[in-house]
Chain A
């Protein structure tokens, strides 16, 4: 009928044709009904659906990312799991879509009908299933499984281990019977589960239609059932791990459900507020996303926070296992120390031991923070990345923004988002280190993304200073290494060898090439980069390239030890020389930019030293001009 209809039909067919996941539930009936529902709705609503769809997809992706972080029991089967997750999310997506559609057509539909139809459908499905099962397997085994699965479903929220135990018990009981039957039964029960979940959309069909469909569905279901059995027989490696893996998927599914419920609530609020007055428009939807307040998002994000907390707990457990060996060694050391020192200092020693044991996993944690923040920024749906977008939009609009104001707003934004992360994610330490780190990373990203608007402000603000330096650089344009009082050994003038007498013209061209050309070229890339940290890393690279040039020059020559030690003086002189030759545009505002946006954590280390070099080069040229004026 419609474009969407065809789309969902395809999805349904994909579900049916999936060969690699015999254990996974398939609901052809549901999908068919859903597609018909969607087909009956207006095209206007469909536009909205596609919009919402993309949003939901974003959330699902984020949830997937969370899952990937999960140190799952079946890491080896990652591919399979991902595929299944997509399958799990699909019916949910459809559910959300239908829900949102329902909200739009709420004026026409009646709630009473909904409830009735739900009950009816549930009963129908149960009957169907029971009949099917009767035909294919013993009633006793079914009942056992029923009990087991129901119990385990109830307990599933409590702990992993309990559930796994219950599953293993159930499998032991079933061990005597055929493997094929077990697996099929499991599948069916999960199917029931899903049917409960997804029956929230409204049905406008009567019983009479259903009874006729019942027979058709029954026939089709039987076929499907048999095909499933045949497929399962083809795959022999169905065992406990698969069940575990199913359980995990289910747990995620439950969380997703919770989350999606909240999301739909939030969505309905918005539609109630805005759509009543204006009618459905794409523009209004876009506006909603700009208007979302942080508190609302926090609410939604709490679920992800919980997820991450679980992950962090698991990680801790694993790291403690790894550390046990180290602790044993440390204990031995402690004993030795105890023998040597007085008992008074017991506390001291234990404190020292803690320090050592904590040092190891910290680096991993730093890495995990980095990757996590990259993920946050990469995803479309996360509140921080959305806030980033909004911030960018705002700056784009206020083109005449003051530099001070811009800096202030950036600082506030970064602090807020760091605080937000601190409150919602478990892997942050109580100390401020992690918060600072994440703030630094977010700041760097933010500055990078609005660089095109931010840097012109710097150029305007420091016009005078830039001019002074640029004039100075022009005057000194022809300065050589000697003029900078660089020691003669670092001039790196190659000696003319006798064999080069022929083709002298070419040789001369080569000879007078700047020995530090590499460093100069890389210096010139600084204005092309947007990220402040990358800019400063270029300066570090320049220093290395200067050293490289010198070592290469003296590689084959016999020199006294220490002859080529580059002291701080030489370093600064050579840096000034490259600064002059590179002659980058607006160097002063470049310096101020770096000064403002290099995070404090970096300033004590090597990068801070590089920034100091850059600053002193700028100041050197400014001062030189002032001195001449005097």
Chain B
């Protein structure tokens, strides 16, 4: 509550209302879904640290309001963030279109180094699926996004999601000692690829 470590990375969670943004953050930070004893779980800024590449990465996860009338307020929340998690509900096609809109917005207004992840939540409700995994995957590949299908209820892939984001964050590899050239090389190459892809995309547009 007092001083947050200065090297904390801010992550913002975006998406339509009811896709499970808060429960996703809760599952990751407290590893719980519906807490039976405490009936209220306030929306806040969650914090957790992850150990990646021999380094602690501190996350400060900001939950946002998803309703349409609050969409104009989103820039207040997502500015200065290092990563954006855009969530949709696999049982609602409308939420996927909303996610696409968010991806466009973040590409336009976010930082150049911003890591974007597209997340299909509620993968435990496979029977009611409306958004095909292939469609989302192709979209993610096209836009160079991290893509995963998660379930906040069962906890499937939730940990993986944040680990992947931690690996992708530019700051994680920035301070590794120079002796570890091989590690550094891989990242820098992948980064270059990203930038090239972005340039290509810009040219297309």
Stretch at the interface among A98-106, A172-180, A603-611: A603-611
Interface residue? A160 (CB, 8 A):
no
- B1-29 vs A, CB cutoff 8 Å, 1 = contact: the mask equals 10110101010000001000111000000
CB distance from B40 to the nearest CB of A (A): 5
Q: Are B39 and A554 in contact, CB atoms less than 8 angstroms apart?
A: yes
Chain A residues proximal to chain B, CB less than 8 Å: 347-348, 351-352, 355, 366, 433, 436-437, 485, 540, 543-544, 546-547, 550-551, 554, 559, 561-572, 601-609, 612, 615-616, 619-620, 623
For residue B155, CB closer than 8 A to chain A, the reply is: no
Give B174-186 as 1s and 0s: 1 = Cβ < 8 Å from A's Cβ atoms: 0001011000000
List B33-53 residues whose CB lies under 8 Å from chain A: 33-36, 38-45, 47
Contact A569 B8, beta carbon cutoff 8 Å: no
Please indicate which of the listed interface residues A543, A609, A619 has the most CB atoms of chain B within 10 Å of its own CB.
A609
What separation, in Å, do the CA atoms of A616 and B74 have in the docked complex?
8
Chain B: CB-nearest residue to A436: B6
Contact B34 A562, beta carbon cutoff 8 Å: yes
Smallest CB separation, B166 vs chain A (Å): 16
Interface pair B34/A623, CB less than 8 Å apart:
no
A–B pairs, 7, beta carbons within 8 Å: A348-B54, A540-B1, A566-B41, A601-B6, A603-B80, A606-B1, A609-B45
Cα distance, A116 to B65, chains bound together (Å): 86
Which of B1, B22, B44 gathers most chain A CB within 10 Å? Answer: B44
A270 to chain B, nearest CB (A): 41
| Contact call B65/A572, Cβ cutoff below 8 A | yes
**Which residues of B come within 8 Å of A, CB atoms?**
1, 3-4, 6, 8, 10, 17, 21-23, 33-36, 38-45, 47, 54, 56, 60, 62-67, 70, 72-73, 76-77, 80, 177, 179-180
A355 to B17, CA, bound (A): 41
Nearest-neighbour CB distance to chain A for B111, whole angstroms, equals 15
Taking the nearest CB of chain B, how far is it from the CB of A314, in angstroms?
A: 25
Q: In the assembled complex, how far is the CB of residue B143 from the closest CB belonging to chain A, in whole angstroms?
A: 25
Given A571-B65, A612-B76, also A605-B8 (CB < 8 A): yes
Which residues of chain A come closer than 8 Å to B1, judged between CB atoms? 540, 605-607
Chain B residues closer than 8 Å to A572, beta-carbon distance: 65, 70, 73
| A562: chain B residues within 8 A (beta carbon) | 33-34
Contact (Cβ within 8 A) B4 A601: yes
Main secondary structure of the interface of A (DSSP, over half): helix
- Tell me the dominant secondary structure on chain B's binding face: loop
**Chain A residues with Cβ under 8 A from B34's Cβ?**
561-562, 565
Contacts of A565 in B (CB 8 A): 22-23, 34, 40-41
Nearest 4 pairs of A and B residues by beta carbon: A605-B4, A609-B45, A562-B34, A616-B73
Cβ contact within 8 Å between B22 and A567:
yes
Residues on B with C-beta less than 8 A from A437 are: 3
Interface contact B65-A569, CB-CB below 8 Å: yes
Using A601-B4, A605-B8, A606-B1 as known contacts, say yes or no to A569 and B70 having CB atoms under 8 A apart: yes
Q: How many Å lie between the Cα of A544 and that of B43 in the bound state? A: 10
Determine if A604 and B10 form an interchain contact, defined as CB atoms under 8 angstroms apart: yes
Please pick, from B4, B63, B64, B70, the residue contacting A604 in the complex, using a CB distance under 8 A: B4
Most B Cβ at <10 Å: residue of A366, A568, A571, A620: A568
From residue A563, how far is it (CB to closest CB) to chain B in Å?
Answer: 7
Indicate if the CB atoms of A612 and B41 lie closer than 8 Å: no
Complex Cα distance, B6 from A366, in Å, reads: 14
Report A540 CB to chain B, min CB distance, Å.
8
Cα distance, A547 to B44, chains bound together (Å): 11
With A547-B40, A569-B17, A612-B77 as contacts: A604 and B65 at CB distance below 8 Å = no
Partner of A616, one of B4, B6, B54, B76: B76
Q: Report whether B70 and A605 are in contact in the complex, using a CB–CB cutoff of 8 Å.
A: no
Say yes or no: A351-B177 contact (C-beta < 8 A), given A561-B35, A565-B34, A572-B70: yes
Minimal Cβ-Cβ distance residue in B for A603: B80
| Given the contacts A347-B177, A604-B10, A609-B44, A564 and B54 also touching, CB distance less than 8 Å | no
Nearest CB on A from B38, distance (A): 8
Chain B residues within an 8 Å CB radius of A606? 1, 44-45, 47
A551 touches B40 (CB 8 A): yes
Residues B40 and A550 in contact, CB atoms below 8 Å apart: yes
Bound: A616/B63 CA distance, A = 14
The reply to whether A569 and B42 contact each other, CB–CB distance below 8 Å, is no
Whose C-beta in chain A lies nearest to the C-beta of B10?
A604
User: With a CB–CB cut-off of 8 A, which chain B residues contact A608?
Assistant: 45
Pairwise interchain contact B76-A568, C-beta atoms closer than 8 A: no
Q: Which of A559, A571, A623 is most buried by chain B, counting CB atoms within 10 A of its CB? A: A571
